[in-house]
Amino acid sequence: MNKEIDDKLKLKNIKPTAMRQLVLEVLLQHKTAISLPELEQKFEKADKSTLYRTLKTFQEKQLIHAVEDGTGSLRYAVCDDFCTCEPKDLHVHFLCIKCNKTYCLHDIPVPEIELPEGFTFENANFVIKGICKKCNF
Amino acid sequence: MNKEIDDKLKLKNIKPTAMRQLVLEVLLQHKTAISLPELEQKFEKADKSTLYRTLKTFQEKQLIHAVEDGTGSLRYAVCDDFCTCEPKDLHVHFLCIKCNKTYCLHDIPVPEIELPEGFTFENANFVIKGICKKCNF
DNA sequence: AAATGTTGTGCAATCGGGTTGCAAAGTCAA
DNA sequence: TTGACTTTGCAACCCGATTGCACAACATTT
Ligand SMILES: [Mn+2]
Ligand SMILES: [Mn+2]
Ligand SMILES: [Zn+2]
Ligand SMILES: [Zn+2]
């Protein structure tokens, strides 16, 4: 099939089933993060729970990461090639309140915060809301 | 009834009904942000939709603010007295992955981010996840 | 006080995203 | 070919959020 897709799957140790190839293709084409319900609509006839489990697998294998953008549904985006979903890979996300799209700001790392005494860091979710470039034009 | 509570309601132009007094009392007692389902459990017999609309009203009148902590339910916490829920009032939140409590880090403002060309800022939600002081002991 | 309008409350129903159990289908290696 | 293991499809279910509607409480006017 598509070389790029199979390579990405192999790189993350995910067996390249037909379903997974299709889902990854959609994820790669899509420029912004996508939710399970949105993903479902991209297919004529696809089962929600299969898609759900596909996303779960992708996430566990660190092929995609999830964004809690507060829209009520988690959104997913493909990770950079050597992302391991650790703190160093965390970046800021942007939700456009007009077009409701969620962008990965890959170049903008989540700033480090000095936590209060006794609190320890594990993870972070930083979402900025506003108007995106397209909607500002 | 309770002076502090009625004062806070009056300050934000909210009519002090019995229900609202009770809800605000719970919110003030609670040291961490609280969700609608959690709030519901604090009362023997209270209607979910009334509580829901009470929270909505409080939020519109800027008596409380909502935190999207990714737990699946929005959590609410009482605003500082002169908070107007504008960018200047935004602060970081902390979700403990052990006890599942969400803390307002009132002293830690959400850092300003240089957005890409064409993107404009409206709001932000910054949640750090980790282990809280109590759970670290 | 009585009539009227406005606001708040309680109940039941609905919506939607996420999640699970289970059986059938597919994969793969012995 | 057989049997173990993985993946998929379908049908539920869970749960937080939200809404419509009728009634109660409250305020305002006569
Ligand atoms: Mn991202
Ligand atoms: Mn807060
Ligand atoms: Zn936009
Ligand atoms: Zn804790």
- Summarised one tens digit per residue, pLDDT across range A7-35 is 999 999 999 999 999 999 999 999 999 99
- pLDDT tens for A65-83 read 999 999 999 999 999 988 8
Neighbours of ion ligand 2 (CB under 5 A): B 77, 104
Under the banding of pLDDT at 50, 70 and 90, the label for residue A1 is: low
B56: phi > 0 → left, psi -120 to 50 → alpha, else beta; which? alpha
Predicted confidence (pLDDT) at residue B7 exceeds the cutoff of 70: yes
Range of A2-11, A80-89, A123-132 with top mean pLDDT: A123-132
Query: Which of A68, A105, A136 comes nearest B68 by C-beta?
Result: A68
Under the banding of pLDDT at 50, 70 and 90, the label for residue B117 is: very high
Which residue from B65, B130, B80 is spatially nearest to B101, judged by alpha carbons? Answer: B130
Backbone angles phi, psi at B63, to 5 degrees: -90, -30
Predicted confidence (pLDDT) at residue B122 exceeds the cutoff of 80: yes
pLDDT at B1: 60
Closest ligand by atom to A93 CA = 1
Domains and CATH numbers, chain A: 3-130 (1.10.10.10)
Give the chain B residue nearest A112 (alpha carbons).
B111
Which residue from A117, A6, A127 is spatially nearest to B92, judged by alpha carbons? Answer: A127
Distance B7 CA to D27 C1' (A): 21
Q: Does A112 touch chain B (CB under 8 A)?
A: no
How many angstroms separate the CA atoms of B21 and B5, rounded? 7
- pLDDT tens for B45-66 read 899 999 999 999 999 999 999 9
- pLDDT tens for B74-88 read 999 999 988 888 999
Which pTM value belongs to this model? 0.94
Which is higher by pLDDT, A135 or A82? A135
- pLDDT tens for A37-55 read 999 999 988 999 999 999 9
Set of chain B residues whose Cβ sits within 8 Å of the Cβ of A67: none
